[in-house]
C-alpha cells in the first residue's frame, strides 16, 4: 500500500493500492480539523444518499440489533458505541473520504451483530473457552454478514463486519485474508475493536492501562493490524476520552474474540 501524505495540519492523506504497476485510489483526499478528529458519533447525514441517512431511516431495527447483542452479554454494554466512535475517528485521522467515514461508523456499531448466534453460556463464560466454544465465537463475523444481508440499507458494510477479525499477516478468521485484501472497513474496525476490548473490564479479565494498550497496538502493527492505520491510531489523542472507558469486574485467562 502506498501512502501519499500532505500537511499534518489539515490531515489530508491518500490511500492508494498498487495493482500491477497501476495505482487505484481507495480513499479521497480530505481536509479535517482537530475538532473533526475528536468528534463524537454523529447522526447528521450530509445528504439523502449517505449510509448514515439510511441508518437514521432504519434506526429502530439497528438499535434493536444492538440491544439484542448487549442483552446477550451485559458486560460488553456500550462496546459497540465505543467501537463505532473509535472507528469514525480513525477513518477521519487516516484521511478517508466522507462515505468511508460514515461506513466505518456503522460498521463499528454492527460489527458484533453475529454474536446473536453464539450461545449465551459461551459469551458469558468466566473461565477459559474450550476449542469448540472458541470455534463457536469465531463464527460470529460470518453470521453477522448473513444477518446484515437482510438489511439493504447497510449493504456497504457487510464485508467489514465479516472481516473485522482478519489479520494483516493472514492468520485471522473467517477467511484468512491478508494485507490489502482485507476490506478497509474491516481493518479499521479491527483496531478499534481490539483497543476497546483491552481497555474494558470483562467477566474474564480486568482492563489494561492505556499505555499498555497502545503499546500492544504498536507491537502488532504489521502482523495483526494494518501498519498505516495502526500508526494513524497511535497518533490520535486518547487523554480524557470517556468513550474508551468501561466499568465492570472481571478476571481470567479466557480467550477473547
Residues 129-152: pLDDT tens digits?
Answer: 999 999 999 999 999 999 999 888
Q: Where are the beta strands (DSSP E) in 56-206?
A: none
pLDDT at 115: 92
* H or E element in which residue 14 lies: strand 13-19
Residue 171 near residue 138, CB atoms below 8 Å: no
CATH 1.10.3210.10 for domain 42-244: yes
- pTM, 2 dp: 0.74
Q: What is the mean pLDDT of the chain?
A: 76
C-alpha distances out from residue 250 to 61, 76, 212, Å: 31, 12, 18
**What DSSP designation does 202 have?**
B
- Write the pLDDT tens digit of every residue in 13-47: 333 333 333 323 333 323 333 333 333 333 344 44
So where are the chain's domains?
42-244
The helix/strand count (H/E) of the chain reads as 12, 3
Amino acid at each position: 500500500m502506498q501512502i501519499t501524505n500532505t500537511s499534518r495540519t489539515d490531515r489530508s492523506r491518500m490511500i492508494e493500492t498498487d495493482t500491477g504497476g497501476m495505482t487505484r485510489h481507495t480513499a479521497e483526499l480530505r481536509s479535517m480539523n482537530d475538532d473533526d478528529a475528536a468528534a463524537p458519533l454523529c447522526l447528521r447525514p450530509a445528504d439523502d444518499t449517505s449510509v448514515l441517512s439510511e441508518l437514521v431511516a432504519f434506526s429502530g431495527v439497528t438499535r434493536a440489533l444492538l440491544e439484542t447483542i448487549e442483552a446477550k452479554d451485559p458486560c460488553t454494554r456500550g462496546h459497540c458505541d465505543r467501537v463505532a466512535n473509535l472507528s469514525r475517528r480513525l477513518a477521519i485521522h487516516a484521511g478517508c473520504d466522507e462515505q468511508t467515514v460514515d461506513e466505518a461508523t456503522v460498521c463499528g456499531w454492527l460489527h458484533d451483530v453475529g454474536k446473536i448466534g453464539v450461545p449465551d453460556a459461551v459469551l458469558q463464560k468466566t473461565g477459559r473457552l474450550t476449542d469448540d466454544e472458541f470455534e463457536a465465537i469465531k463464527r460470529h463475523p460470518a453470521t453477522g454478514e448473513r444477518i446484515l444481508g437482510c438489511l439493504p440499507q447497510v449493504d456497504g458494510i457487510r464485508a467489514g463486519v465479516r472481516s473485522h477479525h482478519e489479520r494483516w499477516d493472514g492468520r485471522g478468521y473467517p477467511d484468512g485474508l491478508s494485507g490489502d485484501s482485507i476490506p478497509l472497513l474491516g481493518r479499521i474496525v479491527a483496531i478499534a475493536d481490539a483497543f476497546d476490548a483491552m481497555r474494558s473490564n470483562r467477566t474474564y479479565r480486568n482492563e489494561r492501562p492505556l499505555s499498555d494498550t497502545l503499546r500492544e497496538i504498536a507491537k502488532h502493527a504489521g502482523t495483526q493490524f494494518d501498519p498505516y492505520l495502526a500508526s494513524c491510531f497511535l497518533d490520535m489523542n486518547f487523554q480524557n476520552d470517556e468513550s474508551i472507558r468501561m466499568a465492570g469486574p472481571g478476571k481470567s485467562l479466557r480467550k477473547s474474540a
